[in-house]
Amino acid sequence: MTESNTAPDVKPGRLSASEYERNFSDLHPLLAPHEASVEADRCYFCYDAPCVQACPTSIDIPQFIRQISTGNPTGSAKTIYDQNILGGMCARVCPTETLCEQVCVREVAEGKPVKIGQLQRYATDHFMASRETTPYTRKSPTGKKVAVVGAGPAGLACAHALAVEGHDIDLFDANEKPGGLNEYGIASYKSVDNFAAREVAFVLSIGGITLKTGSKLGETVQLSELRTQYDAVFLGIGLGGVNALGLENEAKDGVLDAVDFIAGLRQADDYATLPVGRKVVVIGGGMTAVDIAVQTKLLGAEDVTIAYRRGQERMNASEYEQYLAQTNGVKILTWAQPKTLIASNGHVEAVELERTQDDNGQLKGTGETLTLEADMVFKAVGQALVPADLNGSSPNIRIEKGRIVVDADRKTSLADVWAGGDCVLGGDDLTVAAVEDGKIAAASIHSALSA
């Protein structure tokens, strides 16, 4: 193995102001009214539509598209919000190409689906531009109080639904800003103009929800205390830990968590202040891997490679996301897993990868290696629940395979605690799935509190 003699090249300001502005502009600009009308007219308004069945939140897609086609975007948005109060963000980040649009009759017949996601954004953006509050009114106060821990998609959906029913909600979040991954984890070109914060304000406009930021479960907030102080608790805490590569030199400069870097990028006022390497390697194959790879390329990195241990068809990132990466100049290297992080003078400078193969369903190394020079190496190999954050209740909440166990109503092993989103066993790593968890849990909590 030969170490590189090239010094790490990590610096900010690789591009001009106009290049940053262009690179991080809206990935899918808002449809104009005429464009939306033409696209809506392509819908067949199917009975028992497959797109509705494919939507995790069961939005009546033919109905909201028909309302757009008849010049009623306000009613269209209401149809969306009835099932998904975070419909605006989901329209931006939901992998519609693998959900509703994949089963669209137009896609099956012509290979060109109705642009459901963009039409959903058209309706919800129209509504939020003309109204400051959600289209719902709170019912009479019930006197019941619920603690919702985590102000991400699951927590926001749960809090809003419970507030509508007249319950009072304390919404806790560990970060300075609410929104969860919508605020801190979404690629910047997917959510521009501070939309995540604006949507949170929209959700909170229902009233009855008190936001408590800087409140981390297991530190400033304890589950055992919440259970004694509130009538019910919902946990939408996400995954606070980051999986490690388990390699020597992982703590060296230049070896970074992709999630942390994306969070910093999302909060940056000036992209020119963000240092990026000339040569970047990303370890992983999911949406986070694509997001960090594309964004480092947009920040001015010249050579960006995603290294994934299995075949491209096994990547968790959708085909569209893979296409997005490749059209932005990102290389995707498959059947390669990290073996050694090579460092010099305290900074990573290369990654040695071992070629892999599938041996009757088992991933095995072949012994063949290759080395990629790298000024920065990003870990995007998944996140993990931090069980210690849940300590203090008696009995302890049930956890399996590193996730909270819930039933169909999103109820945990504790009678007064529900959970949803990334932190639960069997959950999908999707904003829209987290919203559905929050909805289901809220309905179950309301039923329990009304008994």
Q: Is the pLDDT of residue 109 over 60?
A: yes
pLDDT in tens, 250-285: 999 999 999 999 999 999 999 999 999 999 999 999
All domains in the chain, ordered by first residue: 10-24+242-382 (3.50.50.60), 33-130 (1.10.1060.10), 145-240+385-450 (3.50.50.60)
Distance (Å, whole) CA 348 – CA 354: 18
Which of these, 148, 236, 218, lies nearest to 390 by C-alpha position?
218
**Statement: residue 7 has pLDDT above 90:** no
- For residue 257, the cross-strand partners are 379
Average pLDDT score over residue span 53-67: 97
Beta strands in 221-361 (DSSP E): 232-235, 241-242, 255-257, 276-277, 279-283, 303-307, 331-333, 336-344, 347-359
307, pLDDT greater than 50:
yes
CA distance 449 to 61: 32
Q: pLDDT of 416-428, one tens digit each?
A: 999 999 999 998 8
DSSP secondary structure of 38-65: HHHTT----TT-HHHHH-TT---HHHHH
pLDDT at 3: 45
Question: Is residue 217 within 8 Å of 51, Cβ to Cβ?
Answer: no
- Whether 36 and 115 have beta carbons less than 8 Å apart is answered as no
What was the pLDDT predicted at 392?
Answer: 65
pLDDT tens, residue by residue, 125-144: 999 999 999 999 999 999 99
2 pLDDT higher than 80: no
Runs of H (alpha helix) within 140-286: 153-164, 181-184, 195-204, 223-229, 258-267
Q: Is 401 left (phi over 0), alpha (psi -120 to 50) or beta?
A: left
Decide if 124 contacts 87 (C-beta within 8 A): yes
Tell me the mean pLDDT in the region 9-26.
96
Q: Where are the beta strands (DSSP E) in 284-409?
A: 303-307, 331-333, 336-344, 347-359, 362-373, 376-379, 383-384, 399-400, 403-404
Any idea what the Cα angle at residue 147 is, between residues 143 and 153, rounded to 5°? 120
User: What integer is the mean pLDDT of 402-423?
Assistant: 96
Q: Give dist(CA 121, CA 110) in Å, integer.
A: 23
- Asked if 336 and 314 count as a contact pair (C-beta separation under 8 A), the reply is no
Q: Which pLDDT value is given to residue 1?
A: 40
DSSP class of 312:
G
Cis peptide bond prior to 113, omega within 30° of 0: no
CA dihedral defined by 3, 334, 430, 55, rounded to 10 degrees?
Answer: 170
* Closest alpha carbon to 124 in 228, 36, 10, 245: 36
Q: Which H or E element spans position 130? A: helix 116-130
Query: In angstroms, what is the C-alpha Rg of the chain?
Result: 23
Query: For the chain, what percent of residues have pLDDT higher than 70?
Result: 98
Burial class (CB in 10 A: 0-12, 13-18, 19+), 203: buried
Separation between Cα atoms, residue 120 and residue 122, nearest integer Å: 5
pLDDT, mean over the chain: 95
Distances (CA, A) of 122 to 12, 75, 350, 384: 35, 12, 45, 35
Cβ-based neighbours of 148, under 8 Å, separated by 6 or more:
155, 158, 159, 162, 169, 170, 171, 172, 233, 234, 236
Give the C-alpha separation, 55 to 180, whole Å.
22
Q: Per-residue pLDDT tens for 199-251?
A: 999 999 999 999 999 999 999 999 999 999 999 999 999 998 889 999 999 99
In the predicted model, what is the mean pLDDT of residues 342-362?
A: 95
Residue 438 tokens, joined? 């929050």
Phi, psi dihedral angles at 366 (to 5 degrees): -95, -15
pLDDT at residue 6, rounded to an integer: 56
Longest dimension (CA), the chain: 71
Measured between alpha carbons, how far is 372 from 4 in angstroms, rounded to an integer? 9
Q: Does the pLDDT of residue 385 top 50, yes or no? A: yes
Per-residue confidence band for 394, with pLDDT thresholds at 50, 70 and 90? low
Confirm if 445 and 232 have CB atoms less than 8 A apart. yes
How do residues 69-84 score in pLDDT, each as one tens digit? 999 999 999 999 999 9
Both tokens of 383, joined, read 């996140």
